[in-house]
Every structure is written in structure tokens, then in C-alpha cells.
Amino acid sequence: MSQNVLITGANRGIGLEFCQQYLASGARVFACCRTPQQASELNALAADNPQLTVMQLDIASQQQAAAIIDLLKGETLDVVINNAGIYGTKGASLETIDAEEWLHVLHIDTVAPVLLTRNLSPLLKQGSKIAFVSSKMGSIADNQSGGSYMYRSAKAALNAAVKSLAVDWSEQDITIALLHPGWVKTDMGGPNALISAQQSVAGMKNVIDQLSSDDSGHFINYDGAPIPW
């Protein structure tokens, strides 16, 4: 049976690869990005795949989120992948961090995806799965190198919020997980990263496919291994 899959941050990197792999599996994909008119690779993919619908969404915009929900009325979503996120200024030290930028990273990486998921709830059903692309850099137990204050704190906050969401929605039979994609060769991960987007997404998709209610609220590596909080 074909799945309906909604993916944020779908115009490049991990998000674009999620689109490609879900299309290859026969899914109908709703690909969301901030500026569709500039998403050349995504638009080219849509031109070759009628099962792919490109939709405008700045995840920080409640107005755009509401518009997407209106467009999708009558549909149900089997899988939601909250992939969109930002890092903030790389290499920013504690002495140089700008407070407004830090708050912006927290908003985009933590607040926006959780509220978007809340707003998408009318489109979910029993058995729906929601994946939040987090990062091992949000693991407090794993932090041995310090730094990266904005990104680490935003992902740690996302982990805490999504854990609560998983508990709160457990009786609705909706499975929610946090995924670490690995260190991936993307614009964010850089050229020295360890794995390709194809490897990362293949692993995460396999994790999502196998998720059960017992996994809800867990923090999981792309290879299926658990990650400490």
C-alpha cells in the first residue's frame, strides 16, 4: 500500500534524498521547502515524478503551515519527517555568540518543528509515524568536545520536547522518534563528513520502516543503534 509522506527541508541534502528514496519505494511525497522557485533539483525531481508535490513552507511561519494543512485536507499522512533545521554561525565561541541568532536557531530547530507537528495532527491517523532529524550533538552524555552552543542546545531541547510529545500522543497510536543522521556530506556536514546522504537516508528510512510503538520517544542512530540522552 502506498504511503503519504511529508518531508520538510526537502530542497537539498538529506531532505532531497528522503524524497528520492521514498519515491523509489512507491510513496506519494509532499516535499516542503522555503523557496520552491529556487529548488532546482527538487523541481526537476517533481517533473519526472507525478507522485511528488512541491509545497512552500517556512517552518517558522504559522501562516504557511496553516496553508499547507488547508491544501492537504482530505489527505492523511503515514509518515512525517521533520528534517528542516539550521546550525547557526559555525565556529562561534561563547564570547562571540549573538543572543538573537541563538534564539533564532532554537526557534527553527526546536519550537518550529514541534508546533508544525501539532498543527499537522488532524492529518495523522492510528499508525502514523513521525521522525524528527536530531543530532548526536544534542546528546548531553555524548558531549566530550564542548562548543557549538547554539546547535547543541537546540537539538537537546528538541529531544526533550519530542520525548514529551511521544508520551502525550502514545494513546493515539502515533509513533514518534528522534533520529541521528550521522555525520553526512551535505552543505551543513561539509566535505570531510564520514557518510553520504544516500547512506544516511537509507539507514534512517529503514529505522522508520521498522518503528513500532515500543520505539516511540527513543533517540536512534541512522544504523538503528540507541543514542544516550
CA angle 168, 130, 209 (to 5 degrees): 125
Please name every residue paired with 28 in a beta bridge, in sequence order, or none if there are none.
Answer: 4
Summarize pLDDT for 150-203 with one digit per residue, the tens.
999 999 999 999 999 999 999 999 999 999 999 887 776 677 777 899 999 999
Fold (CATH) for 4-221: Rossmann fold (3.40.50)
Please choose, from the candidates 179, 183, 188, the residue with its C-alpha nearest in 3D space to the C-alpha of residue 220.
179
DSSP for 1-29, written as a single string: -PPEEEESSTTSHHHHHHHHHHHHTT-EE
Note the pTM of the prediction, 2 decimals. Answer: 0.96
Q: Which DSSP state fits 149?
A: H
pLDDT of 148 > 70? The answer is yes
Summarize pLDDT for 78-132 with one digit per residue, the tens.
999 999 999 999 999 999 999 999 999 999 999 999 999 999 999 999 999 999 9
Write down the pLDDT at residue 67. 92
Please name every residue paired with 6 in a beta bridge, in sequence order, or none if there are none.
Answer: 30, 80
